[in-house]
Structure 1
Amino acid sequence: MKHGFLVFLFALVLFSSCSNDDGGPDVEIVPPRSLAEVSTENDAEIREFLQTHYYNYEEFASPSANFNFRIKIDTIAGANADKTPMIDFVRETTVNVSDFEFLLDQGEDDIPHKLYYLSARHSFEELDQERVDCPECFPSVADSVFVRYEGKLLDGTSFDSALNNAIWFDLARLQDLTQGFRGFAEGIPNFIIGDNISDNGDGTVTVEDYGIGLIIFPSGLGNFNRVSGGIPQYSPLMFTIDLFTLNQTDHDGDGIPSKDEDVNGNGYLYDDNTDADSEPVTVSFANFQDADDDGDGTTTRDEISDENGNIIFPYPDDNNDGTPNYLDPDVN
């Protein structure tokens, strides 16, 4: 993702067939496959991978003094035939995807896609309790995160990495499926940030007890039918991640954290656009990108602030209809 990963070419797969009357080749444009079909196929591939591979769980359980706390994956075979398969360590979650999110129009809405994730350093039971005790220690899909990572295909081919120095990612941007890595954005919030981050002065940082994990997701949460460097069409993807820290984000600077602009509460930021009816399609903005969420000509910040510019919470609802002023075009 750091090497131009956030910019992709939309590619049509072209196959030459018989010659036309002018002597040149006819070109057949192959339409995208259906999301539902590919999701089912990818899930079978992922589950087979998880059933036939293991990770170095024994090293994480009893780390040696020189252990680097990196996830290593290998096939269950031969001398490793007795290893516990990864499928016994993962949790799964379902993310619905519609074809319009890939700028397609095949009439497919809310197609379920399974995402699998594995926590190597902290047990899921520990993470469940930490989420209760310290909810701010877990990113949301609207936050920016500081991570080391490596992205691979299921055959082990690495297509991008930042393994030595962590880099920042805006998860909200990655949640846009035209970027190709919504699964990364949806998977990261399942891990906890580290403690006591410090700058070593040489471009690296030291972090204690940071989250370490693996995310595997189908192509419908990745590139789907698009071609990008090193990633074939319809390929499931997996990422190892080290999650160091996060920054809560207010993308439009309106005073409301972007994670709180998920009005319908479905975890997807791009389908919340309160003033969509008043915006041209070509310049339509989701609430987390829009400084005037209800399109009434008064900025959201002004509608939630007092005369001294201090944000009022709970957000004002002058007509007491249950909709705060900043989402209610009838209140200015």
Structure 2
Amino acid sequence: MKLKNAYLLIAGLIIISSCKKDDDSPGEVIPPRTLSEVAIEDDAEIVEFLQTHFYNKEEFDAAVEGFDFKIKFDTIAGANSTKQSIYDSPFLITETISVESSSFGRTDGEVIDHKLYTLVVRQGVEEGKPTIGDFSILRYEGSLMDGTLFDASSYQPVRFNLSSVVRGFGNGVENFQTGSGPLDNADGTVSYDGYGIGAIFIPSGLGYFDGSSNSSISAYSPLIFKIDAFDYEPDSDFDGDGIPSIQEDLNGNGNLNDDNTDSESEGVRVYLANFNDSDDDNDGILTIDEIKIDGVIKKDANGIIIFPDTDGDGIPDHLDNDLK
């Protein structure tokens, strides 16, 4: 399964039973594990990897002719016993991200902090970084902690909606500046210069947790994604409703998938978060028509849309279902 299908997979967990059969005891049904216990184990596994492995820093520093600019990991041992660990690298970024167990169909009400680790081996030459509300153009390679490859993009750049991939991937890509390009090659392909290069180490709670359909990814597996960050499209509007998708992160938590004002509409089953919804309040009037003032979309000096509030109740028209 390709990475871009991850969001659909996670959404499907809500309606799919999460009980598993124990392979060692055929027929025995075991309950799903809690987010809290898995988060602790995942972080310990990732930290152990980071502390016992290094990457080919010397090759990046020298960048001799013919170097392919590919990240390679190896164990700190023997002839490599003096190498600096990834964990001690000044280029390792650690972020704490809260995850609700309900996003995986759980009903225990847990909200658990997860650590996301991003290694920025080379920062891109272009200023600015993508957000989870942008399309990003990149190349990636996904593997398990033991190095087993489970997915990879083709040689050519791939365009991703950063909120429709596994959450840790989208949040990790936000740490990279991108390159210059695209440059047209003689063979009809394109390339980029000075692009960002790195790796993202993702606990399962920011990945597939217990629900990947990829047979190579077992339940509760932490993941590693190596990425080349070529380019991005700032202020992307995924649903074409006139609002840049990053401005639809209403609670400001870096996750667009839990912002759904449709869910407040009584008696209506709704599946789309605002960034994927052309009618954010489900009132039958398109969002793009409700955000205009005197027929146009107006913005402040920072490029933030000034939303009309016709009835003065503090709720913008496009989020106000009782305004008709």
TM-score for both structures, normalised by structure 1: 0.83
Task: Tell me how far 1:270 sits from its aligned partner.
Answer: 1.9
Corresponding letter in the other structure for 1:155: D
Cα pair 1:195 1:207 within 8 Å, conserved = yes
Q: 1:150·1:163 contact (CA, 8 Å) conserved in 2?
A: no
Q: Tell me which moved more, 160-169 or 274-283.
A: 274-283
SS of the residue corresponding to residue 122 of structure 2 reads coil
Distance 1:307 1:202, change over 3 A: farther
Matches of residues 81-230 of structure 1 in structure 2 within 5 Å?
81-89=81-89, 90-105=92-107, 107-122=108-123, 134=127, 137-162=128-153, 164-174=155-165, 181-200=166-185, 202=187, 204-227=189-212, 228-230=214-216
**Residues 86 and 224 of structure 1: is their aligned pair in 2 closer, same or farther, counting only changes over 3 Å?**
same
User: Residue 79 of structure 2 aligns with which residue?
Assistant: 79
The answer on whether the counterparts of 1:147 and 1:245 sit within 8 Å (CA) in structure 2 is yes
**Matching residue's letter, 2:43:** D
Contact 1:35 1:108 in 2 (8 A): no
Once the 2 structures are TM-superposed, how far is the Cα of residue 41 of structure 1 from its aligned partner? 0.6
Correspondence list, 1:284-323, <5 A: 284-306=271-293, 308=295, 310-313=296-299, 314-323=306-315
> SS of the residue aligned with 1:275?
helix
Separation in 2, partners of 1:213, 1:3: 17
Is contact 2:21–2:28 with CA below 8 Å preserved after alignment? Answer: yes
How far does residue 4 in structure 1 lie from its aligned partner after superposition?
A: 8.4
Q: Does 1:64 align with 2:55?
A: no
Give SS of 1:246's match: strand
Structure 1 unmatched ranges of 5 or more? 19-24, 175-180
8 A Cα contact 1:39 1:218, kept in partner: yes
Task: Find the aligned partners of 2:199 and 2:3 in 1 and give their Cα distance.
Answer: 21
1:324 corresponds in structure 2 to 316
From the superposition, tell whether residues 104 and 199 of structure 1 become closer, same or farther in structure 2 (CA, over 3 Å): farther
1:13 and 2:55 correspond: no
Q: Give unpaired runs (5+ residues) of structure 2.
A: 300-305
Q: CA deviation at 1:328?
A: 3.1
Structure 1 counterpart of 2:307, which letter?
Answer: Y
Deviates more, 1:197-206 or 1:229-238: 197-206
Deviation per residue, 1:40-81 (Å, 9 max, x gap): 011011101000000011111221121111111100111111
Partner of 2:302 in structure 1?
none
Distance in 2 (alpha carbons) for counterparts of 1:108 and 1:307? 44
Aligned CA distance change for structure 1 residues 225 and 277 (closer, same or farther; 3 Å) = same
Counterpart residue type for residue 144 of structure 1: F
Q: Is the 8 A contact 1:99 1:108 kept in 2?
A: yes
1:178 corresponds to which residue? none
Aligned length in residues: 307
2:219 maps to 233
CA distance in 1, matches of 2:176, 2:51: 23
Paired with 2:152 and 2:24, the residues of 1 have a C-alpha distance of 39
Report if aligned partners of 1:165, 1:203 keep a CA contact under 8 Å in 2: no
Cα drift, residue 281 of structure 1:
5.8
Asked if structure 1 preserves the Cα contact closer than 8 Å seen for 2:182 and 2:192, the reply is yes
Provide, for residues 15-34 of structure 1, a one-character-per-residue CA deviation record: whole Å limited to 9, x for no partner. 4799xxxxxx8x22111111
Pick aligned residue for 2:252 from 238, 262, 265: 265
Amino acid at match of 1:242: D
Distance 1:140 1:16 in 2: 41
Change (3 A) 1:281 1:213: farther
Q: Amino acid of the residue matched to residue 234 of structure 1?
A: Y
Give the corresponding residue for 1:177.
none
Are 2:167 and 2:255, in contact at CA under 8 Å, matched by a contact in 1? no
Q: How does 1:269-284 map to 2 (within 5 A)?
A: 269-278=256-265, 280=267, 282-284=269-271
In structure 2, distance between residues paired with 1:205 and 1:43: 38
- Alpha-carbon deviation of 1:307? 5.3
Give the secondary-structure state (helix, strand or coil) at the position aligned to 1:88.
coil
Correspondence for 2:241: 254
How far did 1:145 drift? 1.3
